[in-house]
Structure 1
């Protein structure tokens, strides 16, 4: 891997991914809301930002997303569900990465290895959901998984060496996860190392799949 683009590079995981890649000798370009005004929920903003990035890349990593958009914490019960939160989560966590892939698709090489990876979350697994709650976040990540799986099928028809994947970083230690003391947590730096290791080990026959930080498949 020689050159990568990290989108959402100003966030905790995004910054750590940039540092990890650069530490491995990868040339990294970055885009973010804070530095570049990128709004991944706005298609014109996505197109303009990507058009401004020149050159060929081996990896596009989308690290954007949020646990909540209009409230302080994820929903604990169905009574907490609101249209505003669900729609905002869908736009940011599902539509955003899909728009990036849409406008990068024509730049995916046809004969060399390329990876498009986006941060998903284990809670987006329908089959693994035994706790309930977190309705908007779970739904948005399940939608992201579906969008990227479908895109992987399409892209594989013409770009045999391309890999499109959803990645679960584990529970990353942040100010928000301080409220969840029972979860095993990793630093952003540990998460980044694990995720880049996974990316480096992926093969084209694994495109369209959902993996955790240890390269273990997660059920849909």
Structure 2
């Protein structure tokens, strides 16, 4: 791998990914709010990615949020708010797909390349045994479907491309601090190493999968 684009490079996992890739000798381009990129605004995405030259071996979308504004994950239906649901979809589902839409021209057609977006195990419908967290769960489930659907189309023009929805595990970041309870969490650097290891093992034949930090398939 020679070049990588990390969207959301200032966040916990994004920063760790950028650092790990740089240590491997990869030329990393980082984009985020500091560079004027807002993944919920297509004009912003188009402008930020429009100035980049093609040839990225990896495009990694590390954006996302469990709490948006004052709205955290819901425990009951009574707490469901349509505006909060829409905000979750805009950031956690539509945003990564907009990045893919405008990053596709940056990805090589004649060799292997990867596009990855951070998903979450709680977005699995088959693995949902607790309920709650309506908006975040639904947005991540939508992201998984969008990545899977896009993988089918992208294979026609980029046969070497591998698109993945990745669950990083529970990571010790500001996003998880208030909601993980006693659940064990790994440092961002360890999560980044795990995710990069998964990417190194996945090929075009794996495109469209929803996998965890060990590369195991998570049920839809």
Please indicate the TM-score interval, normalised by the length of the shorter structure.
over 0.9
SS in 1 for 2:6: strand
The 5 Å alignment of 1:75-154 reads: 75-154=74-153
The answer to whether the 8 A contact 2:149-2:208 is kept is yes
SS in 2 for 1:186: coil
Residue of structure 2 equivalent to 1:26 = 26
Residue of structure 1 equivalent to 2:15 = 15
List alignment gaps of at least 5 residues for structure 2: none
The answer to whether the 8 A contact 2:4-2:29 is kept is yes
List alignment gaps of at least 5 residues for structure 1: none
State TM-score, norm by structure 2. 0.96
State the Cα deviation string for residues 170-201 of structure 1 (Å, max 9, x = none).
Answer: 01112453333321210111100100111111
Residue of structure 2 equivalent to 1:53 = 52
Would you identify which runs of 4 or more consecutive aligned residues in structure 1 move more than 6 Å?
Answer: none
Segment of structure 1 superposing worse, 178-187 or 22-31:
178-187
The answer to whether the 8 A contact 2:115-2:163 is kept is yes
SS in 1 for 2:28: strand
- The CA RMSD measured in Å over matched residues stands at 1.1
State the Cα deviation string for residues 37-96 of structure 1 (Å, max 9, x = none).
Answer: 111011110000001222411000000110021335211111110011100000000000
State TM-score, norm by structure 1. 0.96
The answer to whether 1:39 aligns with 2:38 is: yes
Would you say how many aligned residue pairs link Structure 1 and Structure 2?
219
How far apart, CA to CA, are the structure 1 residues paired with 2:94 and 2:21?
26
Q: 1:109, CA displacement in angstroms?
A: 1.7
Q: 1:157, CA displacement in angstroms?
A: 1.6
SS in 2 for 1:28: strand
SS in 1 for 2:157: coil
The 5 Å alignment of 1:124-203 reads: 124-179=123-178, 180-203=180-203
Residue of structure 2 equivalent to 1:5 = 5
Residue of structure 2 equivalent to 1:215 = 215
Residues 1:176 and 1:72: Cα distance change in structure 2 (over 3 Å)? farther
